[in-house]
Structures are given as C-alpha cells and as structure tokens.
C-alpha cells in the first residue's frame, strides 16, 4: 500500500512540476515572440553564425553576472570604450552591415584626433584665454578682426613657441573631446555634461565653418561611416554660415548646397554608398520670430533641393530649451510642406515641459522622434507611436555619456525592444566621446541593453529598421543591397575570419 501511495504522490508531483515548467516555457516563448526581430526566420547559415555570436555574447554576460565588477558595460563608457574593441564579438559587430544612420549631428561625428589635425592647416589663427580654459579659432590671411579674449596668434607660431609640441597638442585635444579620466567626478549631472558638450561646438565653430574645412570634414565623415559599414546617412545640421580667406560669407542655403555637392562627389568616388540627406536642425532656444526665419530658410532650401532636404528639427539641451508646445502653431502650419523629425523626451523628468514634448511631437505628425528617452513613462504614447509607426531614434551611448542613464542595462530601449517598438539605433555625436560611428552603439545595445536571449535576429532587424524608416525614396534598393552585404557577413562568420 505505502509504495503505491508514494508512487502516486511522486507521479502527481512530477506531473505538476512538468506543468509548471511547460507553462513557464510557454510564457517565455510568448514574450520572446513580442521582441524586435522575432518575425525574422534565420537561414541555415545564419543559424550557424548565430550560434557563434551567442556563445560570445553569453561568455561576456555570464562573466559579469557571476562577478558584476568585471562587467565593463556597467561602468562609464569612457572606461570601457577601448577595452571592448579587443573582443571578438565587437570585431564581428564592427564588420556587420548596419544599414543607415538617421540621427547624427554635423560636426560631432569625427574623433578629436581628426579635429586636432585640422589645426595644422595653413592660415589658422588661435586665441587662448589667460588660463587656457577656452580657445577660439579663425582662418585668415592676416590677423583676424574678430574680438579675442587675449590676442590672436598664428597657430603654427603658437605651437612652435610652446616649447613642447606634444604637450601643446595634448592640451589642445582636450577641447575636442568629452573623454576624461574621472568622468563621474566632473560630469556630476546632465547640466555639467551638457556644458562641456556645448563648449565643444562653441570652441570649434569658426574652425569648422571655414568652407574648405567644412567640406573636408563632411567628406571624411562619410568615409568613416562607410568604413563602419553604414550605407546611408541622414545628417542633422544647424547650417552655419561659412567663410573663406577672401572675406566671402556663405549663408545657410549655400551651406546646404555644400552638403549636396560633397555628397554627390562622395557617391561618385564610392558608388557602393547610397548617399545622404539633410535635416535642417537649428537651435531651439529661440523666439518665434527666429523660428519663422528658420522655417523660411527650410522651405527655400526644400524648393531648391527637393530631393536632398528631407525635413526639419530643433536641437539643444531639451530641459533648458523652449518647449515644442510654444511653437505648435508655427510647426503645425508647415507640417504639410515639411516633414518633421523632432527631438523629444531627452530627459529623466516626468510631467515637465521636456517630457511632454513627446505629446507635441506625436500630434505634430513627426515622422521620427529623436531620443524619446522618457517615452517609457507614457503607456498611451507608446501605443500611439506603435500605431502611427513613428520611429524612435535611440542613441544609447549618447544617453549614457550625457547623464540620462548610468548603466545601459537600465536604458528604456530594453523595454522598447521587448515590445517590438519601431526603433532605429543611431549614434548622435560619436566623435565627441570617441566612439566609432555605429559599432559601439550596436555592441552596447546587444550585450547590455537587450535580453540575454536577443540574438542575430535583433541586430538584423535594427539594421533593417534604419532602412525602412529612412526617407530614402527607393527603399527596396537599399534593402536589396543590404541583404547582399548581410549574406557576405554571415559567410565570413561561419568561415571564422576573425
């Protein structure tokens, strides 16, 4: 009797346990089926490549899971940006076709070493403040007439007179990068990080707006993005006035035309690149009269270059900027003529003007929303974004560096990915924090933000999303070219070319 009873109890317990485990598995599979990329079916070759990639990913995660202090990605980006480049997984991601970059800002895209090299150009003058905390530049055949905190010197003379060119250049380079040894002590909050961030653009303004430099910088930007396996770019620019050595000043329309000409030249030089489009994105901390002038310029450029200018945005530190609702009337009037790609919700606050910019971006019919970091707090708006297919331009590394999130594992993107939101991955201003054009953002997203279960399907879908939500007129051509590159990428993984 007793053996039978024990058997029956064991059987019931086992069956109950199996039922629980089966239900657990069912729930897990249902949740994974909601994730970005879940609809993609991998080929046999992709499955082999996926196994290799997931083994590498799991090794990195497991090491950090057991000993969190060794999980690099929970630290500040400046502490691990170079270290991760040595990993096989990063090198694979670096070679991965990444589709398009849809959120990137004009002069924040190349490294401080590149910017430093520009200071070796002829006819460059420099002006340091007495304490060397700030610096100004100007290209001119003679001493610049522009005011200066101390006095203008030819850069080559200042460099040679320094007595130590290596130290001079190292000190100068600090003005071109946010990267420092003790970021958590210096960049204590979002305002501190943004102050240094904005100082970069103030400092380099006249350096970049010298027309020959502007043209070369943009050409080399396209070169770097292509090298990082990007095939198409939509660049946001404030369209600054440019100048030359003859005293000519070129307005915003001519600056836009400069972008167009350089893009066309680059495409002739590199026919495998699918080009670039322009989003006019001036500063948002302005009055309505200035906004109307921005809109007039945008409509003029669109009339002159209808296939090149694709839309309009307003940029700047969102918490300190003018709320979109203040410009709602003006933007609503123009939205039928000019597509809007609006920054909104780049904030940690909830219920503030910067947070509620998300409402305005949606009702104004934005084609994409830049950052949308705060969207996670608005379940209704998340539904609207999904229903209206408004792509979210997420910039993980930027959000970390600019103090919105300390640990990328806590980034709202994790939630967006889990619910198959219309996400595109971008990089914002990678040069200023010494990241690669897109590889760091893909790596951090894949290893730290996404589920441990997220695999090759996620990365492929993110790359495809950047093509689907672009303004490129013949998306089928982009997708076809991407698929060819993707197949070669998969073949290289399977053949273990790393």
Q: How far apart are the first and last CA of the chain?
A: 65
User: What angle, rounded to 10 degrees, do the helices at 211-227 and 190-208 form?
Assistant: 120
Q: Which of 60, 234, 318, 346 is catalytic?
A: 346
**Bridge partners of residue 236, in order along the sequence:** 105, 279
Measured over the CA atoms of residue 279, residue 285, residue 290 and residue 291, the dihedral's sign is positive
Task: Give the Cα separation of 69 and 118 in Å (integer).
Answer: 39
Contact 426, 217 (CB under 8 A): no
Pairing relationship of beta strands 309-312 and 423-425 according to DSSP bridges: unpaired
| 346 is an active site residue | yes
**Bridge partners of residue 237, in order along the sequence:** 280
Q: Which of 105, 138, 343, 371 is catalytic?
A: 371
| Sequence-separated (6 or more) residues with CB below 8 Å from residue 294 | 280, 282, 286, 312, 314
Contact 464, 452 (CB under 8 A): no
Could you tell me how far CA 79 lies from the centroid of its own chain?
A: 19
Task: Give the Cα separation of 366 and 388 in Å (integer).
Answer: 10
Q: In what order do the strands lie in the sheet with 232-237?
A: 100-105, 232-237, 276-280, 309-312
| Sequence-separated (6 or more) residues with CB below 8 Å from residue 94 | 85, 228, 229, 436, 439
> How many beta carbons lie within 10 A of that of residue 407, not counting itself?
14
Closest CA to 373 of 332, 314, 333, 415: 415
Which run of H or E residues covers position 332?
helix 328-334
Contact 442, 96 (CB under 8 A): yes
Task: Give the Cα separation of 24 and 11 in Å (integer).
Answer: 20
| 483 is an active site residue | no
Contact 232, 309 (CB under 8 A): no
Provide long-range contacts, Cβ within 8 A and 24+ apart, for 399-402.
399/346, 399/371, 399/373, 400/76, 400/77, 400/444, 401/77, 401/78, 401/178, 401/193, 401/433, 402/190, 402/193, 402/194, 402/197
List residues with catalytic annotation. Answer: 346, 371
């Amino acid at each position: 009797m007793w053996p039978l009873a024990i058997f029956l109890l064991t059987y019931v317990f086992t069956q109950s346990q199996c039922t629980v485990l089966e239900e657990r598995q069912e729930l897990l599979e249902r949740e994974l089926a909601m994730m970005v990329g879940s609809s993609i079916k991998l080929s046999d070759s992709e499955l082999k490549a996926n196994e290799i990639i997931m083994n590498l990913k799991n090794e990195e995660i497991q090491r950090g899971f057991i000993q969190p202090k060794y999980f690099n990605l929970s630290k500040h980006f400046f502490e691990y940006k170079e270290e991760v480049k040595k990993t096989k997984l990063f090198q694979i991601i670096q070679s991965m076709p990444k589709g398009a970059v849809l959120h990137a800002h004009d002069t924040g895209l190349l490294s401080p070493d590149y910017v430093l090299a520009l200071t070796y150009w002829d006819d460059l003058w420099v002006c340091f403040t007495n304490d060397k905390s700030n610096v100004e530049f100007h290209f001119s055949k003679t001493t610049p007439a522009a005011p200066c905190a101390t006095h203008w010197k030819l850069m080559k003379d200042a460099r040679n007179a320094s007595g130590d060119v290596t130290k001079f250049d190292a000190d100068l380079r600090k003005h071109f990068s946010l990267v420092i040894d003790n970021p958590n002590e210096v960049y204590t909050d979002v305002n501190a990080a943004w102050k240094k961030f904005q100082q970069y653009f103030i400092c380099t303004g006249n350096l970049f707006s010298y027309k020959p430099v502007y043209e070369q910088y943009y050409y080399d930007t396209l070169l770097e993005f292509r090298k990082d396996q990007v095939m198409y770019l939509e660049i946001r620019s404030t369209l600054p006035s440019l100048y030359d050595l003859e005293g000519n000043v070129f307005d915003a329309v001519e600056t836009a035309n400069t972008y167009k000409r350089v893009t066309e030249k680059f495409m002739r030089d590199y026919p495998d690149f699918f080009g670039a489009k322009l989003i006019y994105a001036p500063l948002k901390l302005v009055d309505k009269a200035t906004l109307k002038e921005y809109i007039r310029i945008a409509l003029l450029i669109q009339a002159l270059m209808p296939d090149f200018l694709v839309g309009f945005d307003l940029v700047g530190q969102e918490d300190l900027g003018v709320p979109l609702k203040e410009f709602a009337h003006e933007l609503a009037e123009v939205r039928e003529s000019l597509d809007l790609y609006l920054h909104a919700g780049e904030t940690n606050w909830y219920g503030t003007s910067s947070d509620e910019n998300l409402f305005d971006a949606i009702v104004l019919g934005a084609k994409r929303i830049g950052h949308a970091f705060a969207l996670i707090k608005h379940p209704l708006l998340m539904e609207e974004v999904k229903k209206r297919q408004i792509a979210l331009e997420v910039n993980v590394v930027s959000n970390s560096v600019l103090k919105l999130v300390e640990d990328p594992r806590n980034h709202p993107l994790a939630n967006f990915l889990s619910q198959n939101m219309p996400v595109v991955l971008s990089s914002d201003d990678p040069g200023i924090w010494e990241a690669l054009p897109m590889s760091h953002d893909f790596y951090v997203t894949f290893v730290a933000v996404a589920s441990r279960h997220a695999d090759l399907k996620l990365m492929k879908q993110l790359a495809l999303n950047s093509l689907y939500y672009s303004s490129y007129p013949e998306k089928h051509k982009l997708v076809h070219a991407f698929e060819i590159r993707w197949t070669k990428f998969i073949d290289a993984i399977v053949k273990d070319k790393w």
